[in-house]
A and B are shown apart, each in its own frame.
Chain A
Amino acid sequence: MIQHSMPLALLGLCCALSALGCQQDASTSAAPASSPAAQAEAPVEDELVVFAAASLRDAFTAVGEDFERAHPGSTITFNFAGTQELRTQVEQGAPADVFASADQRHMEALVTAGRVATPVRFARNELVLVVAREAADRIRAFADLPTCARIVIGAPEVPIGRYTLQVLDRAGPHLGAAFRERVLAHVVSRELNVRQVLTKVRLGEAEAGVVYRTDAISAATTDERNAPSMAVVSIPADINVTAEYPIAVVVGAAHPGLAQQWVQAVLSAEGQAALARYGFLPADSPP
């Protein structure tokens, strides 16, 4: 419920704000002296609306602070939500300038529909195993996963669930042909988003779950103030898969120039450093 209504509320907010933005644009362009270049430098408040996958929240917020400092007079409004929800909103004509997806397929669908310009890959996110503290002594490697009594993974309909199944498939040649089935036999829930997987493990309801590296890092940061709730176990590189993150300017964006500058900021050395700080891998490193 909360997951669903938050983006909708934000969407409503975005609609209202962008309507205001349009009025401002109209009034400045009516003024005789205004050219596109003058407009970008004018002290008019430009509002860039960035739709981004929920996992980008911390990294993009950091990039956004730098961006606003570097572009006086512009503010950034983020709409962080599940990639699927954002895709639906962009399809329905939500007033976004930029769309950053946690999944290639949803981006490709929007390209085909003519809703976004050519996307650029800007980051990757690898999968890790998180283990509840009660089981941390027992589960020290990915190969120990089948000994877990209660495993939680993502539903196959959502990206994290699809990637998890790919990892289990790829584990076969390395960890035994029955590895996938032995793991799936202990799956007690297929959650609808990665945060739900994380929550079940952190509460100890599940012994282990598969999440993105960035989620494990953000949970570990919260844990620093409290007792550690879980341990993080890496998945061997030869069986791991990574989620590709593409970003694109939305067709018909209210601020196409500023949107393009945002994409450049994300791809810049500073932007990439911020993403790395929160656990993302660079887009161009070998898989």
Chain B
Amino acid sequence: MKPTSSTLQRSLLALMGAVLVVFLALPLVALFVMGSVGDFQQGLQHPLVWPALRLSLLTTSITLGLTVLLGTPLAWTLSRSEGRWAHALETLLQLPIVIPPAVAGIAMLLAFGRRGLLQPILEPLGWSVAFTTAAVVMAELFVSAPFFIQAAVSAFRRVDPKLIIVARTFGASPLRVFWRVGVPLAAPGLVAGAALSWARALGEFGATLMFAGNLEGRTQTLPLAIYTALEADLRAAQALSIVLVVVALTLLLALKLLLRPGATSDRRSRVHADAEGRA
């Protein structure tokens, strides 16, 4: 009786999961199978495809660089800070994750626009950001950096505090502790966070359209090109969507490869050896 019942329960759980699997996979499958290879090739010839792909790769790379460069020290500091203000700041930094992208676009216009908050500073400098590639990067940074920060803070929090105390006791400077202990031990979490944030930047649409506009080669990223193509030709939009999915899939696979258990434990043991060597 007992084995039957547990098999039944396991099947029930699996079945409930399967519903979600089908729901999540079906649209992606449809994207690839609803349409011929000829349609796809024709879609790839669409004049919007390549400038948009190039711009998307360029802007998301810059965004990712800025996110990691500025976000890693921020996350380290937050993970080592206690108290009300640190928690308040952490919550504030998560806010862009939950606000709709169009709201993000309006907020950015109100902050950096020609009639915005920074207008008294920006106008004398003759510096206007809307409709430039820089505006695309800013929109992407705004919506994607919080994903990295959140992942990085929790990755740093999982670092054994004893290792940090030991390193500090033996005279390592704060910068050295951050770079030689914190970053290597949190690396898998940092990479996962960076990938998530990059993917979010790649898919960014609403804030870019509001804040940066839509001009081929300058501000028209892949998602904007997909929406533009959709106005005229569903097949071109579908081909562009497939390009976007393939690029994202490639990144996910690369990430899995980078983070496979072997690679991680190697790094971890190197750090321990390093710490022990110093001790």
Contacts and interface: CB of A to CB of B under 8 A. Distances in A.
A134 B114 CA distance: 10
B43 interface: no
Given A187-B215, A200-B213, A205-B131, A192 B227 contact: yes
A152 B213 contact: yes
Contacts of A177: none
B266 interface: no
A205 B109 contact: yes
Nearest to A150: B131
B115 A188 contact: no
A1 B113 CA distance: 21
Contacts of B100: 1-2
A13 interface: no
Contacts of A104: none
A204 B113 contact: yes
B102 interface: yes
B209 interface: yes
B215 A157 contact: no
A205 B231 CA distance: 24
Contacts of B131: 150, 188-189, 205-206
Contact of A203 (B101, B113, B206, B215): B113
Contacts of A189: 131, 213-215, 219
Nearest to A190: B214
A158 interface: yes
A205 B214 contact: no
Interface residues of A, number: 22
Contacts of B130: 188, 200, 205
B228 interface: yes
A158 B214 CA distance: 13
A174 to B, nearest CB: 27
A28 interface: no
A74 interface: no
Most buried by B among A2, A150, A203: A203
B231 A192 contact: yes
Most buried by A among B115, B130, B213: B213
Given A1-B102, A188-B215, A189-B213, A157 B115 contact: no
B167 interface: no
Interface in B198-230: 205-206, 209-210, 213-216, 219, 227-229
B203 to A, nearest CB: 11
Contacts of A1: 100-102, 205-206
A2 B232 CA distance: 20
A240 interface: no
Contacts of A150: 131
B109 A203 contact: yes
A89 interface: no
Given A189-B214, A191-B213, A204 B227 contact: no
A204 B115 CA distance: 7
A13 to B, nearest CB: 20
Contacts of A242: none
Contacts of A192: 209, 214, 227-228, 231
Contact of B228 (A152, A157, A199): A157
A84 interface: yes
Given A1-B206, A157-B228, A188 B102 contact: no
A155 interface: yes
27 contacts: A1-B101, A1-B205, A1-B206, A2-B102, A2-B206, A150-B131, A155-B214, A157-B229, A157-B232, A187-B215, A188-B213, A189-B213, A189-B215, A189-B219, A190-B213, A190-B214, A190-B215, A190-B228, A192-B214, A192-B227, A200-B130, A203-B109, A203-B113, A205-B113, A205-B114, A205-B130, A205-B131
Given A1-B100, A150-B131, A200-B130, 12 more contacts: A2-B206, A134-B114, A155-B228, A187-B215, A190-B213, A190-B214, A190-B215, A190-B228, A191-B213, A192-B209, A205-B114, A206-B131
